[in-house]
Amino acid sequence: MIYLLDANTLIEAKNRYYRMTVCPAYWSWIQRSQGAGVVASIEPVGDELRRGHDELAEWAKDQDGLFLSVSEDDTQQAFGAVAAHVAAQAGEMKAGALEEFLAGADPWLIAKAMALKDAVVITHEQFNLQMRRKYSIPNVCQHFGVLWIDTFELLSRTDARFVLAD
């Protein structure tokens, strides 16, 4: 099984509970887990992070192995299915929601999970079928049978431990 990180999990970690100077072990854990083939993300997430002007952008620039390509045929075909599904719902959504969703990394993240078959999407977005202002990763994942969890469940499932050295 591989866990695919949404940008919001990294951004929120950096801004809140795993600040890079406060909990460097979290960021080392991501690197080790990526090296073990347990955690990854996708190139569009990497691109989004690298456009920033902060320590996360600098960190992302050194994490090429973390960000998987989305150019292979399976992911491209899955993206087409994701795009068709969300386009079919566009009339129920806020104006511009479709374009915003398709222009970002989220549909690619879901498509990559579909292509890998044994992937779980890690996001802090919430499942809410009543949401109309934007497309939610969990809502789209559910339609395609893709599992999703948040960062804290990921840490639990992988038995991550951040222990203070004495």
Residue 39's CATH number: 3.40.50.1010
Residue 99 lies in a domain: yes
- Whole-model pTM over 0.85: yes
Torsion, Cα of 68, 161, 23, 1 (10° steps): 10
Residue 44 lies in a domain: yes
Q: Which pLDDT value is given to residue 164?
A: 82
Q: Which pLDDT value is given to residue 32?
A: 96
Residue 36 lies in a domain: yes
Residue 163 lies in a domain: no
Distance in angstroms (rounded) separating the CA atoms of residues 96 and 71: 26
Give the closest residue to 26 by CA, choosing from 155, 166, 130: 155
Residue 28 lies in a domain: yes
Residue 162 lies in a domain: no
Q: Which pLDDT value is given to residue 91?
A: 79
Residue 88 lies in a domain: yes
Q: Which pLDDT value is given to residue 42?
A: 98
DSSP state of 94: P
Q: Which pLDDT value is given to residue 97?
A: 83
Range of the domain at 13: 2-157
Give the burial class of 7: count Cβ atoms within 10 A of its Cβ; 0-12 exposed, 13-18 middle, 19 or more buried: buried
Across the chain, which has 166 residues, the per-10-residue mean pLDDT values are 96 95 95 97 97 96 95 98 92 84 95 96 85 84 96 96 82
The total domain count for the chain is 1
Residue 166 lies in a domain: no
Q: Which pLDDT value is given to residue 94?
A: 81
Q: Which residues are CB-neighbours of 78 under 8 A, at least 6 positions away?
A: 110, 111, 112, 114, 115
- Per-residue pLDDT of 28-46, as tens digits, reads 999 999 999 999 999 999 9
2-5 vs 119-122, strand pairing mode: parallel
Q: Which pLDDT value is given to residue 156?
A: 97
Q: Which pLDDT value is given to residue 64?
A: 81
Distance in angstroms (rounded) separating the CA atoms of residues 137 and 157: 20
